[in-house]
Structure 1
Amino acid sequence: MIPLGSIVNALAIIGGSLVGCWLQSRFPERIRTIVFQGLGLCVLLIGFQMALKVENILIAIFAVLLGGVTGELLRLDTLFERIGNRFKKLIKSKNAKFTDGLITASLIYCIGAMAIIGSLEEGINGDPTILFTKSILDGFASIALAATYGSGVLFSFLPVLVYQGAMTIGASFFQQYFSEMMIAQVTACGGLLIVGIGINLLELAEIRLANLLPALAYVIVLTAIFG
């Protein structure tokens, strides 16, 4: 099965990123600064909206705490930074925010109910409508992100394509594990990570979000056991 929705989603990210990179070079520094801050506020709103969908807050708390400890022990931030720097060297980019853009955009596009539900819907029913809708949203988000971070955002199409595509192809297997409560818990936990992205964008604190990613695995396991 060809994951058409994920392919269209990836193309939308590429198209939006190219537009954003083109705009970036035409923005004066003060415009880039206010766009950066505005984007941070919008990301906070998205994160809070997702986080409030939590069904069992204790599970979410333990998932984030366990995920953070696991991520720190595995040094995931260093791993992702190395991967991002390899892409940076591959395209010979001099953009200092390349890796940050790649990781930030990947988190925003891959975490959320639309990515999960859309992939399962296409895989099970052959209907990519949800992912087409997500593609439009991600395309516009890519413009703003690429105008802020530059070319690193463009390469976020790779994890989106792999993550959503794999879920679509394996939908019949994944479906039994993703109940409404499971999706709500994963969305809420992902929302907390997106709130962290907003905090980083606004430079309120420096949160090593890559090290919190195992929280998404823990929330699935904990919800399956205790949910």
Structure 2
Amino acid sequence: MIGPLVNGAALIAGSAAGALLGPKLSLNLRVKMPMVFGCASMGLGVAMIVKVKFLAPVVLALVVGSVLGELIQLESLIQKGAGKTRKVIDKIVRPTGDLSQEEFLDKFVALLVLFCLSGTGIYGAMSEGMTGDPTLLIVKAILDLFTAPIFASTMGLSVGILVIPQLTVQALLYYLSSLILPLTTPDMLADFSACGGLIMLATGFRICGIKQFPVAGMIPALLLVMPLSALWVRLF
């Protein structure tokens, strides 16, 4: 399991560098670069959406998954965890950036999706599990190595905590891929990609501050989209 470990190491290294260099980075760089990464997230989302095979089950998964996410208050639970993490880190090192608590929590949720649930990370982990090739995750590690410092410059070492869910998700997909992929079809994977793309698109809007989509609450849709896609094929 090379890719998940390399990606995790890159996220930790980038977060540490950003937290240390934060005050030395120009204000323009700290403010404007997240807009660039948000734009990249939207572009990646669009590229994933166009792979859709059956739009109806993708939309249904997104709607039902979002409803479930709101019912269990998934985003609120993540925000509470992020708030506690920030308090603990603030007690150990200097305060984590100059963001208000509300701004910090909004960005933390968006980064959770960006770093831990992006299409590159999901497919990269599954691909390495099946083929042993870690190339996709190494590419993602390079991107994260440059993305993490910009956000850590204003959010501090808390960004590095995201390595825990990131490594957990990628490791699970790595070990389960040999069981999951044989049960899927190209159409199911295409619809899964499209659903993830919609969430990535919403994440980009949120990072750029255009619209505060409840991206964490949309995560359950990823668990529903492939079963619904398979059911759609059988029924229609």
Gaps of 5+ in 1: none
Where 2:133 maps in the other structure, the secondary structure is coil
Judged with a 3 Å threshold, the aligned counterparts in structure 2 of structure 1 residues 204 and 113 are, in CA distance, closer, same or farther, namely: closer
Select the residue among 54, 60, 63 that pairs with 2:61.
63
Partner of 2:78: 80
TM-score (normalised: structure 2) = 0.84
Where 1:222 maps in the other structure, the secondary structure is helix
Judged with a 3 Å threshold, the aligned counterparts in structure 2 of structure 1 residues 42 and 121 are, in CA distance, closer, same or farther, namely: closer
Identity %: 29
Where 1:170 maps in the other structure, the secondary structure is helix
Query: Does structure 2 conserve the Cα–Cα contact (< 8 Å) formed by 1:9 and 1:135?
Result: yes
Select the residue among 186, 206, 216 that pairs with 1:210.
216
1:11 corresponds to which letter in structure 2?
Answer: A
Judged with a 3 Å threshold, the aligned counterparts in structure 2 of structure 1 residues 206 and 127 are, in CA distance, closer, same or farther, namely: closer
Q: How many pairs were matched up?
A: 225
Range 137-146 or range 93-102, more displaced: 93-102
1:154 shift after superposition: 1.4
Q: Is the aligned partner of 1:126 residue 2:153? A: no
Partner of 2:226: 220
Partner of 2:113: 107
Partner of 2:147: 141
Q: Is the aligned partner of 1:194 residue 2:200? A: yes
Where 1:162 maps in the other structure, the secondary structure is helix
Q: Is the aligned partner of 1:154 residue 2:160? A: yes
Judged with a 3 Å threshold, the aligned counterparts in structure 2 of structure 1 residues 119 and 28 are, in CA distance, closer, same or farther, namely: closer
Partner of 2:35: 37
Select the residue among 168, 174, 182 that pairs with 2:180.
174
Gaps of 5+ in 2: none
Where 1:133 maps in the other structure, the secondary structure is helix
TM-score (normalised: structure 1) = 0.87
Range 98-107 or range 45-54, more displaced: 98-107
Structure 1 runs of 4+ off > 4 angstroms? none
Structure 2 CA distance, aligned partners of 1:73 and 1:217? 16
